[in-house]
Amino acid sequence: MRALILGGTREAREIASLLQQDNWHVTSSLAGRVKQPALPVGEVRIGGFGGPAGLVTWLLKEKVEVVIDATHPFAERISISAAEATRATGVPLIALHRPAWQAGERDQWIPAGSMEEAARIAARRFHHIFLTIGRQQLAAFAKDPHNLYVIRCVDPPEVTLPRRHRLILSRGPFTLENEKQLMRDNQIDCLVTKNSGGELTRAKLDAARELGIPVIMVERPELPGGPQVRTVHTAQEAREAVYEV
User: Binding residues for ligand NAP, how many (CB under 6 A)?
Assistant: 23
Distance CA 203, CA 180 (A): 9
Distance CA 196, CA 201 (A): 8
| Min CB(187)–ligand NAP separation in Å | 26
Convert residues 17-46 into a mask of x (bound to ligand NAP by CB under 6 A) and - (unbound): ------------xxx-x-------------
Cβ closest to ligand NAP, residue 83 vs residue 241: 83
Distance CA 112, CA 115 (A): 7
Q: Does 51 bind ligand NAP (CB under 6 A)?
A: yes
Half-sphere exposure of 159 (CA within 13 A, CB side): 13
Q: Does 4 bind ligand NAP (CB under 6 A)?
A: no
Give the one residue of 11, 24, 58, 81 binding ligand NAP; rule: CB under 6 A.
81
Q: Which stretch binds ligand NAP (CB under 6 A): 15-23, 48-56, 119-127, 160-168?
A: 48-56
Distance CA 50, CA 189 (A): 42
Instruction: Please list the residues that pair with 45 across neighbouring strands.
Output: 29
Using an 8 Å Cβ cutoff, are 137 and 160 in contact?
A: no
Using an 8 Å Cβ cutoff, are 105 and 207 in contact?
A: no
Give the one residue of 26, 58, 67, 134 binding ligand NAP; rule: CB under 6 A.
134
Binding site for ligand NAP (CB under 6 A): 6-9, 29-31, 33, 48-51, 54, 71-72, 74-78, 81, 134, 194
